[in-house]
Amino acid sequence: MSYFSAISKIQFEGPSSTNPFAFKHYNPDEKIGGKTMEETLRFAVAYWHTFTFEGNDSFGVGTMLRPWDHLSGMDQAKVRVEAAFEFFEKLDVPYFCFHDVDIAPEGNTLAETYKNLDEIVAMLKEYMKTSKTKLLWNTANNFTNPRWLHGAATAPNADIFAYAAAKVKKGLEMAKELGAENYVFWGGREGYETLLNTDMKLELDNLGRFFHMALDYAKEIGFTGQFLIEPKPKEPTKHQYDFDVATGLAFLQKYDLADHFKFNVEANHATLAGHTFEHELRTARINGMLGSVDANQGDMLLGWDTDEFPTDLYSTTLAMYEILLNGGLGSGGLNFDAKVRRGSFEAEDLFHAHIAGMDSFAIGLKVANRLLEDKVFEDFIAERYESYTKGIGLEIVQGKTNFHQLEQHALSLRDIRNTSGRHERLRAILNQYLLAEQLSSVQ
Ligand code: XLS
Ligand code: NI
Ligand code: NI
């Protein structure tokens, strides 16, 4: 049975191809900086946006036309699995990601939900035997059902905390069963609406306890995947506790969890927090905490998580620059936590969207690699901070000086010279590199 029969396997045809169902830049076997594109980029399809999302928004119902529309419940869930693996294969993507509720409907009881999950997990496992596509990560959706209206691990109600724990316990078992390389925590409703009814300290302490119990359970069952926190400042809650990487890091350090977690950095969450994508990646990277990426983009004119497919080449280039400096993503990957626009309702749009995203990151990888090879910014930065490699600067970084000596130094100064940061020149060089990539592509 084929669900996308009009579309055959997507091949790399090069930049001059006019075939909409071909990669123009993503060439999985091509080596960039010693590794194949496939090895570095580690693309993943997000089950929820691609197979579960119906195209609804807060003003309208679903618009998507999908081959499984005529079905419901477990029948629909099973067809989605079949279609998903056809999609993965046609796109030749190495990974996928899911929330528990994406793959199987919730039952009337928790036990029934488990039963539904078990059935689909067995089916996924069967498909994975013959497919190259592996599980990058899974997670628990502890935010959609009305029971989570006050949060999950940070809810004021201990029964809800227990229910959340049970779902994560099951999630870790599924992760182990399917060989997930990571397990993600995105605290969709782990935050607050108003401090007037909130015991913030207890909620945060409980979140810390929750993560420790999750780690204990992973150890108990021998799940060795990387634990990841996905920061987001708001939406659906007004204030989310894992606001951004820096806030998440302080939380992990305070609760003695920093050795066991890394971050899953999402582009659109970064911009919602008032940061650039590359700022969040940098903050995670310099703290040794960059684990994985939710690759999407927001819309600067809209104030919410629009989860668009990434096509902004500046953003993909600067993101890949951080990722290369990080030495890659380890067990993480680039997960398209992105959805087609509501008006792109045909099944073929799912292919167009992923091809666009994969090509955009492939370009980002090539340009970032050249920038690094030529040490474009590194040389400039090294020169900019040169004063710390000698004299008083060297003493500062070696911890060999104090305020008395620094005052002596300052008093002796006659002529302090600043140098230009050359912001605009550097932006122009970045443009040149991007354009050179484009030009060499069209030739
Ligand atoms: C929502 C989040 C979510 C996580 C997984 O904004 O991005 O999709 O990636 O729960
Ligand atoms: Ni995400
Ligand atoms: Ni998001």
User: Which pLDDT score is estimated for 303?
Assistant: 86
Helices (H), 18-104: 37-41, 47, 73-91, 100-103
Contact 102, 60 (CB under 8 A): no
Query: Is the CB of 337 within 6 Å of ligand 1?
Result: yes
Q: Is the CB of 266 under 6 A from ligand 1?
A: yes
| Ligand located closest to 235 CA | 1
pLDDT at 345: 98
> How far is the centre of ligand 2, averaged over its atoms, from the C-alpha of 376 (Å)?
32
- Report pLDDT for 443: 52
Please tell me the predicted confidence (pLDDT) of residue 442.
57
102 is catalytic: yes
Side-chain-facing half-sphere of 33: CA atoms under 13 Å: 24
404 part of the active site: no
- pTM of the full structure: 0.97
Phi, psi (rounded to 5 degrees) for 43: -70, 145
Q: Is 173 in the pocket of ligand 1 (CB under 6 A)?
A: no
What CA–CA distance (Å, rounded) separates 192 from 197? Answer: 9
The secondary structure of 295-317, three-state, reads CCECCCCCCCCCCECCCCHHHHH
pLDDT of the residue at 437: 79
Please state, for a pLDDT cut of 70, what percent of the chain lies above it. Answer: 99
Residue nearest ligand 1's atom 8 by CA: 337
Taking only the tens place, the pLDDT of each residue in 47-70 is 999 999 999 999 999 999 999 999
Low-confidence ranges of the chain (pLDDT < 50): none
Angstrom CA distances, 278 to 274, 356, 384, 424, stand at 12, 20, 20, 18
Alpha carbons 190 and 2: distance in angstroms, whole number: 40
Residue of 25, 49, 100, 102 marked active site: 102
Residue in the structure block whose two tokens are 């091809």: 355
